[in-house]
Structure 1
Amino acid sequence: MWDGEPLGQAEFTRRPMPLVLPPWLRSQETALGTARWAVRYAGRHIGFHAWRTPAYGLALGWWVLRGTVRAIAAGFGWVSVRGEYQPLITAARDAKRWDLVRDLITERRTLARVRMKTTAWLSVSGGSAGAAGYVILGPVFGWWATVGAGLGALWLGRPRTAPVLPAGPVLPLHLELSADMLTDALRAAGLVKADATPQLVTPPLRDGNGWAVTLDLPRGGGKTAADVIAKRDTLAAELGVDEIQVIMARVRAIAGGHAGRLTVWVADDDPYLGAPNPSPLTCMDTFSVWDPIPFGRDARGRRISLALIWQSMFFGGLPRRGKTFAQRLPSAAGVLDAYVRHYMADGKGGADWRPMRGVAHRLVIGAEDEAITAFLAMLDELIVEMGRRFAVLGTLPTSVCPEGKLTPEISRRYQMPVIFITIDELQEYLSAMAGPVKEETVEKLARLARRAPAAGFILNVASQRPDADSVPAKLREIISYRYCTQVVDRTSSDMVLGKGKAAQGADASILSEDHKGVGVLVTGPGSFEIVRCDYMDLPTFAQLCAHGRALRVAAGTLSGDAASDPVAAAEAAGVQIPTVLADVLYAMHGVERMHTSTLLARLVNTDEDNYSDYTPERLAEELERAGVQRSGRQVKVDGINLAGYRRADLEAAVPAGATLPGPTIPKPNTDGDR
């Protein structure tokens, strides 16, 4: 009730009624998972015993032989009656009652003669019946008689104390999540009192490649589901598995849960190893960034997608753990949208982002002085564009812009494409700046992360060392989505994911060196997931960027640095450019002159395998072979005159046939403000 009026179905959500079906049949995924596990379990046992069939055959033969001997020995003992009378005769002799001994021997002999006659009669009768059966039924009767006799001998010769068959195979994990086991684990972690027991809401069920159970914590203990999630490592140790195999989540009220109810999923093995999952983006012709972007899969193999509109992202972690691969996925989605404008800054200056030269409106390479100047100019351009957009949005009527935010219709109608701001190795830029300049730069980035999403800006930042000096908390704490690959400890994990996240269970330090492309994704104050990112290598990313350039040329949206890059234009036109010439032009991006020593250092940073043994003489020979004619051997940079190259001389060597697209003239708006 609210103000005396009942709430309708649209104003609130009712809890679902209890389901009738058993838990393992309540979803197709669980039912199929249970069936797959049963088939795999049965198949493993069948294969285990089938491989041992020859040994089983020898054992059966031995049991039949032993059963036959036992049957003959038992028959002889029954006919002779020695086993029945021997204890009595021995006892009478010990008592020196010789008359009783004589009577027992006489009685035994009499009974033995009777049993011998009975045995003879049974033998004759059995033989006659067998002969009659053979005459009537033929050889079939003989086979059945042999099988019957063999089964009888097999039963008599079976092992009396050992099991008939050996124990079955040991599967990777056979976890019985009983109430006692969970109680012991929770007590060991200090989450349940000694006299309390958690209640199983659902029994252990097969769910994908693991077991799932839902439980309620006992009341009166003062513990919540969040407390259990925070002690995942202790629970994993008590369950006998690695903590990476234990996935826990609180059951919210919308799903019929409460603060003390949680689901526990235990994988059969490490769920984040194995063959990588190719990104679905590689199979798409176009993509709209207004839709959720495919990012990866969780431990159970479920698709994880990110709605990046109105959001920003921060990537962190140790080197060579797949951080750049993960950061490229959102940018790759933006490349497939011809109405996305890219601003790219690569503080490392390597080859990871080189394909972006064909689509990026602004491209900054490296963190040298001229690159920092270009980086600051790029930020100023973005701040001005943000102000312009908010000014335009503020003048639009509510019928066109009801929430004061960019929409797909406004984006196309008023020439305001979504802007992707990708900054890799941000610490390289901030660490090279003086105090006041650094503070001003951080403030600009914070403004872009805080205000610009409403104007269609998506900030995508990565850093190896997100500490207070390299990337201040003032910037990190306002970025909504965060992704962290392996780090050395919980403190480093909190630097990326947010203060206190490790205590809540979002801890990237539990990842190992084998978890490349795996990280902890935080999407809200209480929402996190360990995600294995989709895989997209550099050659695939390069092909996708080439396709993105073609989309922009066709849509008339190619602009900025990409529109004036001769190498990108030549590659798009299919014109072959010598590799060394393309690499040198990339290393000199945004620079008119560069000393040879600086150029060689940048080439090594871009591709160490190919350029580590280059000398100034060899570089000059290779460029001359590529058609470069230097207008002068010496160039002046920052007042220093040394051997070097001019960008104009290099661009003049680009083969003919690489035509740049003409400037795009925005179409006038003829719709007014309707």
Structure 2
Amino acid sequence: MTTPNPDNEFDWKAAEADVVDLRTRRPANWSADLDDERDEIGDAPVPVDLPTSRRTATRRPIIPAWLRSKAEAIAFARWFIGHYTYVFAYHLTRLPLYAGRLLVRAPRGVVRSISGTSHWVSDAEGRPIRLAAVRREDAADYLRLSRQRDDRVRLRTVILLLSAAFCLVSGTFLLTAAPRAVLYASLAVLMGVLGVIGSPADKPLVDVATVKPRVRKLTADVLMRAFLAAGLCKSDDPIVFPAPIMRDGPGWRAVIDLPYGIKADTAIKKRNDLAAGLDLDEVQVWPERVRGTAGSARRLALWVADEDPYAKESGLWPLISKGQVDVFESFPFGEDQRGRLVCLQLMFTSLLVGAIPRMGKTFAARVPALACALDPIVELHIYDGKGGQDWRAFERVAHRIGFGVRDEVVLALVEDLRALVAEMNRRYDTIATLPPDICPESKVTRAIAERRSLKLWPILVVIDEFQRHSGNPIYGAEIVSLLTELCKVGPSVGIMIVLATQKPDGKAVPTDLRDNIGTRFALKTMTWQSSEAVLGAGSYTAGHDSSRLQRAHKGVGILLGADDSGAVEDALTVRTHRTPLADIDAVIARARALREAAGTLSGQAAGEQPAEVAVSSLLDDILTVVPLGEPKVWSEAVAARLAELRPEVYGGWKPEQVAAALKPYGIPVGRQVWGTDPATGEKANRKGIHRDDIAAAVAERNQRRRAA
């Protein structure tokens, strides 16, 4: 495997400062200065070896990166020029409107000016005080106030007369001696002043060219009020700020120590209460734990956005135009609320994507598929339950691909999954023969995957609209069983599964299958139960509920397990990158070129059509192992015979699994069957099945096929 061409590589160094470290929920270039700040405020013991801790601390740059960036400076200059050019043009075109408003409001301004002047000259503001002296019957105070009023009236009358005389002289000069232009300009200024004076408070003269978002500047007082309102602190036991409140991207960031005994996780669960205390929308308020040596169980980082971070359209996938992927490393998946890059590593795990329709489910599932397509050693198996245009471009790179849920497509999927289970078992046998220096952890590595002779290259299976396959009345149970087996032990030998469904419940994605999927992504769902069905038990009580996501925020979801921790409290809200159909063709063309150059193009992409096969279902296999002369048989005997017939599919099955697999067909599995135990020779009644029930189900299936 050759090293990718640097000219065709995604610029990871340029994006490094904006990548989210999913293990700490901090930017990759986050500094350890908070450790020092905690020492200085006495919140933690000062290390004994203080010089060593200073030497190992990461220093922040004196001049911020954005100030040294030519691209940032150009971007700011473009925004500044564009913004104020737009504002100037906006108001310039409305000058006649503003002049008309001034003219209409000028008479009211005259009335207000006369009224205000008369109140000022007559000292009307002092009248309440004089009346108060009358009510108190305080003659001395009243006489003093009256003399004060008389003095003010005389002085203000003189000022008014002098001002009137000046205005009269100026007006006479303008009418008799001044040029007409000066006269008209003076009249315009006078009308403008009177129009401004006559403007109502609720009707501003000038329109707003740009609607500015409601920005909440964080201060200690504002945060104290919010945390008090949320019940997270008390007046006599307040929150503490171990670091200054500062700007952080398009928002404010505050590091907060809650009172002793109050956990940061408690504050995260009260995100709505904090938003109400800050008088903001919930989508602008983002609390998270501060972990590591700089954090504690009660230390919280609160980031408050200036505006809805998801109101604008998400950016294109960074690898749309150029770049290659190493599937053993992480690849761009989306952005968090602060616009930082969030990466996903799919190797050694499986991914479940759940959402209601039209919320970006297919876009989310397509990102890892495109990433794997850009690694030429990955073998793609893609099945689209809808059959539209979303996945058609992958025909040029996919080893196996199918569209819709027609019988031949479902049969092909079943056969493919059976073959993959057999392939998984072969891979474990192959890995067992490799020496520890080549395969130290009994897992596929990049070096092993590139050895084509071992046939251990990564395999990606993507099934979109999975509920249509799992709900198939004939093969659904077998599809779920095969995928469960692959999700349990397949990732260690390089088999990755991506399932996307718009019906994330126990019927569409059974619990046994869902519990073996390590990475979950829940976009907008209808209920918290559906959200928990995707993210797993405990996610709702931990404060993660995808039903609270807004419909307008397409592509926004809660990501769990991207950091390989799987901890519910480490879930992250992510907006996936856009992968428009118009741009996918370019990515797939680049992916095909990489595969052709590496010699890894195979299967249907290489023109090899899968052979027509008659795939047996579970019912057919039971009829095979239960002869006509045996009308009734114990379930444990059926499980043992099935395992002998197809060990790669039914190996390890027990009577309970037989019952679960037959349940979708409506076949009774709890009937008592009289039989003889072959091991002991004893006769007994045990749960079993009737062969006639299986034969009737097969006949009904065949009849439906002929009718179709």
**Same fold by TM-score, threshold 0.5 exceeded?**
yes
Q: Percent sequence identity over matched residues?
A: 36
CA contact (8 A) 2:361 2:523 kept: yes
Q: Which residue does the alignment assign to 1:203?
A: 245
Equivalence for 2:290? 251
How far apart, CA to CA, are the structure 2 residues paired with 1:494 and 1:441? 23
| Residue 238 (str. 1) matches residue 238 (str. 2) | no
Name which of 266, 291, 315 aligns with 1:227. Answer: 266
Do 1:198 and 1:215's aligned partners in 2 also have CA atoms closer than 8 Å? Answer: no
The residue aligned with 1:557 is 600
Alignment of 1:270-669 (within 5 A): 270-284=308-322, 286-415=324-453, 416-433=456-473, 438=477, 441-522=479-560, 523=562, 524-525=566-567, 526-564=569-607
Letter in 1 for 2:253: V
Query: Once the 2 structures are TM-superposed, how far is the Cα of residue 473 of structure 1 from its aligned partner?
Result: 2.0
What code does the residue aligned with 2:571 have? F
Report the Cα distance in structure 2 between the residues aligned to 1:298 and 1:549, rounded to whole angstroms: 31
Residue 213 of structure 1 is matched in structure 2 by 253
CA contact (8 A) 1:358 1:565 kept: no
Q: CA deviation at 1:27?
A: 12
In structure 2, what residue type is equivalent to 1:513?
A: R
Contact persistence 2:557–2:573 (CA under 8 A): yes
Cα distance in structure 2, aligned partners of 1:548 and 1:216: 47
8 A Cα contact 1:316 1:465, kept in partner = yes
Contact 1:490–1:508, Cα closer than 8 Å, also in 2? yes
Post-superposition shift, 1:197? Answer: 2.0
Q: Tell me by how many angstroms 1:434 deviates.
A: 5.9
Q: Which amino acid aligns with 1:535?
A: R
Q: Which moved more, 1:31-40 or 1:244-253?
A: 31-40
- The residue that corresponds to 1:186 in the other structure is 227
> C-alpha separation between the residues in 2 aligned to 1:33 and 1:555?
40
Alignment of 1:63-212 (within 5 A): 171-200=212-241, 201-208=243-250, 211-212=251-252
Change (3 A) 1:450 1:561: same
Kept in 1, the 8 Å contact 2:443–2:492? The answer is yes
Q: In 2, are the aligned partners of 1:279 and 1:536 still within 8 Å (CA)?
A: yes
Aligned to 2:637: none
Query: How far off its partner does 1:544 sit?
Result: 2.9
- Counterpart-to-counterpart distance in 1, 2:90 and 2:586: 48
Q: Deviations over 1:636-658 (max 9, x none)?
A: x96899899xxxxxxxxxxxxxx
Structure 2: segments with no counterpart, 5+ residues? 1-47, 115-161, 163-195, 615-700
Q: Helix, strand or coil: the match of 1:503?
A: coil
- Deviation at residue 193 of structure 1 after TM alignment: 3.2
Q: TM-score, normalising length from structure 1?
A: 0.61
2:34 corresponds in structure 1 to none
Cα distance in structure 2, aligned partners of 1:228 and 1:277: 31
Deviations along 1:607-639, whole A, 9 cap, x unmatched?
Answer: xxxxxxxxxxxxxxxxxxxxxxxxxxxxxx968
Query: Displacement of 1:563 after TM fit?
Result: 2.5
Q: Distance in 2 between matches of 1:330 and 1:8?
A: 45
For 1:189-217, what per-residue CA distance to the aligned partner results, in whole angstroms no more than 9, with x for missing partners?
23223533222332242522xx2232324
Change (3 A) 1:20 1:417: closer
Evaluate the alpha carbon distance shift between residue 241 and residue 441 of structure 1 in structure 2; reply closer, same or farther with a 3 A threshold.
same
2:462, 2:498 within 8 Å by CA — same for their partners in 1? yes
CA distance in 2, matches of 1:246, 1:365: 42
SS in structure 2 at match of 1:423: strand
- The CA deviation at 1:304 is 1.2
Give 1:469 deviation, angstroms.
1.6
Aligned-CA RMSD value: 5.7
C-alpha distance in structure 2 between counterparts of 1:8 and 1:454, whole Å:
44
Q: CA 1:216/1:42 → structure 2, altered by over 3 Å: closer, same or farther? A: farther
Find the aligned partners of 2:67 and 2:345 in 1 and give their Cα distance: 32
Equivalents in 2 of 1:346, 1:562: separation in Å? 16
Shift in alpha-carbon separation, 1:507–1:47, aligned structure 2, 3 A: farther
The 8 Å contact of residues 256 and 301 in structure 2, kept in 1 or not, is answered as no
Distance 1:355 1:206, change over 3 A: closer
Does structure 1 conserve the Cα–Cα contact (< 8 Å) formed by 2:357 and 2:502? yes
Give the TM-score, by structure 2 length.
Answer: 0.58
Displacement, 1:219? 2.1
3-state SS of the aligned residue for 1:360? coil
- Structure 1: 5+ residue runs without aligned partners? 1-5, 70-118, 120-157, 567-587, 593-636, 645-674
How far did residue 549 of structure 1 move?
3.2
Partner Cα separation in structure 1 for residue 236 and residue 417 of structure 2: 61
Conserved 8 A contact 2:523-2:556: yes
In 2: Cα distance, 1:271 partner to 1:370 partner? 45
Cα deviation 1:151-178 (Å, max 9, x = unaligned): xxxxxxx99xx99xx9997842231323
Contact residue 403 and residue 409 of structure 2 kept, 8 A: yes
Mapped contact 2:555–2:575 kept (Cα < 8 A): yes
Distance 2:273 2:70 in 1: 32
Match for 1:558: what amino acid? L
- State the Cα deviation string for residues 251-287 of structure 1 (Å, max 9, x = none): 1124x12111222222222211223411122212543
Distance 1:401 1:195, change over 3 A: same
> Compared with structure 1, are the counterparts of its residues 347 and 8 closer, same or farther at alpha carbon in structure 2 (3 Å cutoff)?
farther
Amino acid in the other structure paired with 2:606:
A
CA shift in 2, pair 1:10/1:35, >3 Å: farther
**How far apart are the structure 1 equivalents of 2:516 and 2:49?**
36
Task: Tell whether the 8 Å contact from 2:232 to 2:258 is kept in structure 1 after alignment.
Answer: no
One-letter amino acid of the structure 2 residue matched with residue 223 of structure 1: I
* Equivalent residue number for residue 677 of structure 2: none
Aligned-pair CA distance for 1:502 = 2.7
- For the residue of structure 2 that corresponds to 1:249, the secondary structure is strand
Contact 2:227 2:274 in 1 (8 A): yes
- For the 8 Å contact 1:347–1:424, the answer to whether it is kept is yes
- Say whether the 8 Å CA contact 1:425–1:463 is kept in structure 2: yes
- Number of residue equivalences: 517
